[in-house]
Chain A
Amino acid sequence: MKLGDIARELRLTCLTPGVDHADQEVAAGYVSDLLSDVLANGPAGGVLVTVQVHLNVVAVVVHAEMTAVLFAHGRQPDEAVRAKAIEEGVALYASEDSAFEIVGRLHALGLRGPAV
C-alpha cells in the first residue's frame, strides 16, 4: 500500500513538509520505543510506530533503511528532529491514536512485521 493512502486512512499529520513519501509502497512495519530494538529488527522499507521522540530516532531509522516514523498518542518531536528527518529524507507523521490502535489498523491494511 502507498504511504500516502495509509496516511489518509489513518488520518496522519505529516510533520516533514516536502518529505511525505506518499507514492512509496510500504509492506512492513515495526512498533518499539527502544531504539536498540529498532536498530536490530526494523524492516527495511517499513514504517516505525513509536512514542520515542529523541533525535536518535532519525539516525536509527536511516540506518535500518526504514521509510517513515509514525509518532503515536500525540507525541510530537521537536524542531531539530523534524529538520534532521527532512535532511535525511525520512518522513515523519503524527497521530493522536495510541500505538496499539495504529498498529491494528496498519495490520488490517495488509502491513506485516519483519519475518522471524
Chain B
Amino acid sequence: MNVFPADLHIHTGLSPCAADEMTPPAIVDAAVRSGLSMIAICDHNAAGNTAATQRAAGKALTVLAGMEVTSAEEVHTVGLFPGAGAAVAAADEVAGSLPETDDDYAVRFGQQWLMDADGHITGAERRMLAAATPFALSEVVDLIHRHGGVAVAAHVNRPSFSVISQLGVFPQDAGFDAIEVFSPPGRPSAGASFSSFGLPLLCSSDSHYLGDIGRVRTELLLEKPTFEEFVLALGGRDGRRVAHA
C-alpha cells in the first residue's frame, strides 16, 4: 500500500469560468510538477475534455473522469466516474437540460473550449454550462450513481454554490459518498467542522488556473492509483483509506 497525493477537482478551458491556459497537456504538466499521482477533471455540467486529458497524461499520472453538476438549488456536486465514457454519458443527460448559448454568452461568461490531447481547440460547447440544471439535488446524486459514479458535495466550506450555503444544513439523506472541502494552504484543519457528517473528507483545489493545481490535496492510501481503488478508500475497505485530508 502506498500514499498517492490526489487533487480531485480541476477545471479545463471547457468551463466558462476557467482560464484558457487550462489545456489537457498544461494541466498534466502542472499536476506532475506538483507531485500529484491522481487528478480528476471536473468541468461544469460537461465532460468533453476528460478523455483528452487522460490521453495527455498517458502513464504520467491517473486522470479520473469527473463532472461538477449544478442542481436546481444551485448546489454543486462533483461526480467522479469509472471512465470517460460513463462521464460523457452522464454529461449528455445534463447538457440536454441546459439552454443553448447565444452570441453574447461567451463574452459574459467565458469561452467553453473543447480540446485535444495536444491542447489544440477542436470546438466549443454550445450549451450554457454556467446555468443550473432543472434537476433537484437528489436527482443529481441519483444521476451520478446511475452512471457508476461517486457523488461528492463540492467545496462545502465555500460561501456560494455549496450544499451549506444553498440549503442551510447538510441534508443527511442526500446520498453523498464524500464531502469536499477547499482548505487554503496553511489551514489544513478547515475540514474538521465537517467530520461529524460521517462521510469521508476530500481536500481539493477546485483549480481554475494552472497555479492552483495541487495547492489543496488529499493523500490516498491505495495499492495503485485507480478509480476502483479510490472507491475502496472512500469506504475504508481492504486497507485502502483516505490517509490525510
Contacts and interface: CB of A to CB of B under 8 A. Distances in A.
Interface of A: 33-36, 38-39, 52, 54-56, 59-60, 63
B107 interface: no
22 contacts: A33-B166, A34-B165, A34-B166, A34-B168, A35-B166, A35-B168, A36-B164, A36-B165, A38-B168, A39-B168, A52-B73, A52-B166, A54-B73, A54-B136, A54-B166, A54-B167, A54-B171, A56-B171, A59-B168, A60-B167, A60-B168, A60-B169
A55 B73 CA distance: 11
B115 interface: no
Nearest to A60: B168
Contacts, number: 36
A52 B136 CA distance: 11
B165 to A, nearest CB: 5
Contacts of B73: 52, 54
Interface of B: 73, 136-137, 164-169, 171
A55 B168 contact: no
A55 B136 CA distance: 11
A2 B73 CA distance: 31
A55 B169 contact: no
Nearest to B164: A36
A56 to B, nearest CB: 4
Contact of B137 (A36, A54, A59, A60): A54
B136 A59 contact: no
Contacts of B168: 34-36, 38-39, 56, 59-60, 63
Nearest to A38: B168
A56 B165 contact: no
A36 B165 CA distance: 5
A56 B136 contact: no
Nearest to B165: A36
Query: Which 6 residue pairs are nearest across A and B when measured between Cβ atoms?
Result: A35-B168, A60-B168, A56-B167, A39-B168, A36-B168, A36-B165
B61 to A, nearest CB: 36
A33 B168 CA distance: 10
A45 B169 CA distance: 20
B136 A39 contact: no
A47 B136 CA distance: 24
Contacts of A54: 73, 136-137, 166-167, 171
A60 B169 CA distance: 8
Contacts of A34: 165-166, 168
Given A59-B168, A60-B167, 12 more contacts: A35-B166, A36-B167, A52-B166, A54-B73, A54-B167, A56-B167, A56-B168, A56-B171, A59-B169, A60-B168, A60-B169, A63-B169
